């Protein structure tokens, strides 16, 4: 009986639901142009339309639901990246001041002993400083690539090169193809704020466990939030320093200083080498931490902007999909009503 009634009223029903949106049909339902009976029929059709759209099992609902879930995921990712950028910015201010102060520790050694990366020695120890966490651009890959280049340059039949790795990210990359060359690995170095005492203890442990003629410290020197420079600092052993001084090379000015006290020249050079390594390593750790935070700020800022662009595209896709679904449903309803009258 209901189907017969719907067939009879199909023509009038099609004309009443002719607006291009559901909201237009809802307005017609409450207007004075239609009777109470017509309003009831429109309510039935609109209820059927709403159930078809909101049912998760419906085939036409899947596309809009997928896009909606994707939009929700992108919004959550954007919130996380913005929060990580703010955290990195707050940490950078504190670390940057300490980094600038630490530069005054190793500069006197460079003026006195020089920095000679081209010095040819037999035993080379490459100290690679990296971070323990990712999401900071390519600073760790840059340090690893430079360390591998130094390893190839200082390896040979009469030469020996070893790695001392600081940081989880560099360790993970070295383990893949240079596991046997790793002498010492230290992780979670930056879990807590470091001071010079802690770094000097680590430096002393490294010097006690490795034999070296030259220590080559690889780190990223901080320039600005968007710029860092891969740097290699060289610390020579006391024997090499004395040999270079006697040869009258770049270290020849060392003999112009007078030695006071009962210590010999060899003992003074030993103390200078240990102190130089700890100061250079302390500065390298802070410089690399600054570069890491700056790179993380840039990476998270780019990620937030990319998430915003993706969200705009997804919103446009969602609106188009939803409009197409509404239009399709209205066409089917009107076509069905017209077919019933025929």
Q: What average pLDDT does range 239-247 have in this prediction?
A: 76
pLDDT tens per residue, range 250-302:
555 566 777 776 677 778 888 888 888 999 999 999 999 999 999 999 999 99
The H-or-E segment that residue 184 falls in is: strand 182-186
CA distances, 280 to each of 6, 219, 231, 272, 309 (Å): 88, 10, 12, 12, 43
pLDDT of residue 24: 43
Six-digit token string for 78: 């954007």
Distance of CA 216 to the CA centre of its chain: 27
Higher pLDDT, 118 or 163: 163
Burial annotation 118-150 (CB, 10 A radius, 16+ → b, else e): ebebebbbbbbbbbbeeebbebbebbbebbbeb
pLDDT tens per residue, range 40-95:
445 554 554 444 444 444 444 447 888 889 999 999 999 999 999 999 999 998 89
Q: What average pLDDT does range 162-182 have in this prediction?
A: 92
pLDDT of residue 53: 44
pLDDT of residue 253: 57
Domain 85-250+265-300 sits in CATH at 3.40.1380.10
Between 182-191, 218-227, 237-246, 284-293, the lowest mean confidence (pLDDT) is in: 237-246
CB distance 84 to 296 below 8 Å? yes
CB distance 297 to 225 below 8 Å? yes
- Give the HSE-up count for residue 222: Cα atoms under 13 Å, Cβ half-sphere: 27
- Give the HSE-up count for residue 148: Cα atoms under 13 Å, Cβ half-sphere: 15
Task: For CATH 3.40.1380.10, list the domain ranges present in the chain.
Answer: 85-250+265-300
200: closest CA among 276, 97, 288, 102? 276
Six-digit token string for 62: 């899947």
């Amino acid at each position: 009986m209901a189907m017969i009634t719907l067939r009879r009223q199909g023509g009038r029903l099609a004309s009443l639901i002719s607006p291009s949106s559901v909201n237009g049909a809802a307005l017609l339902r409450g207007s004075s142009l239609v009777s109470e009976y017509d309003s009831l029929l429109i309510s039935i059709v609109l209820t059927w339309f709403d159930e078809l759209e909101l049912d998760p099992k419906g085939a036409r609902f899947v596309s809009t639901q997928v896009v909606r879930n994707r939009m929700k995921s992108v919004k959550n990712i954007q919130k996380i990246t913005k929060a990580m950028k703010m955290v990195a910015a707050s940490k950078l201010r504190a670390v940057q001041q300490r980094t600038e102060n630490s530069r005054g520790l190793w500069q006197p050694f460079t003026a006195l002993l020089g920095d000679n990366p081209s010095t040819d020695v037999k035993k080379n120890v490459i100290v690679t400083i990296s971070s323990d966490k990712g999401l900071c651009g390519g600073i760790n890959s840059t340090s690893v690539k430079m360390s591998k280049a130094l390893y190839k340059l200082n390896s040979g039949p009469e030469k020996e090169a070893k790695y001392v790795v600081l940081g989880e990210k560099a360790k993970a990359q070295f383990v893949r193809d240079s596991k046997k060359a790793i002498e010492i690995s230290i992780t979670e170095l930056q879990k807590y704020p470091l001071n010079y005492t802690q770094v000097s203890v680590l430096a002393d442990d490294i010097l006690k466990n490795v034999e070296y003629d030259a220590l080559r410290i690889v780190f990223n020197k901080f320039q600005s939030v968007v710029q860092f420079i891969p740097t290699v600092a060289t610390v020579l052993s006391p024997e090499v320093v004395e040999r270079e001084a006697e040869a009258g090379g770049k270290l020849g000015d060392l003999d112009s200083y007078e030695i006071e006290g009962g210590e010999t020249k060899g003992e003074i050079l030993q103390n200078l080498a240990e102190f130089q390594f700890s100061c250079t390593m302390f500065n390298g750790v802070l410089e690399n931490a600054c570069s890491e935070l700056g790179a993380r700020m840039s990476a998270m800022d780019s990620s937030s902007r990319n998430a915003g662009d993706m969200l705009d595209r997804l919103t446009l896709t969602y609106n188009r999909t939803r409009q197409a679904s509404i239009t399709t449903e209205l066409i089917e309803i009107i076509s069905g009503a017209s077919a019933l009258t025929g």
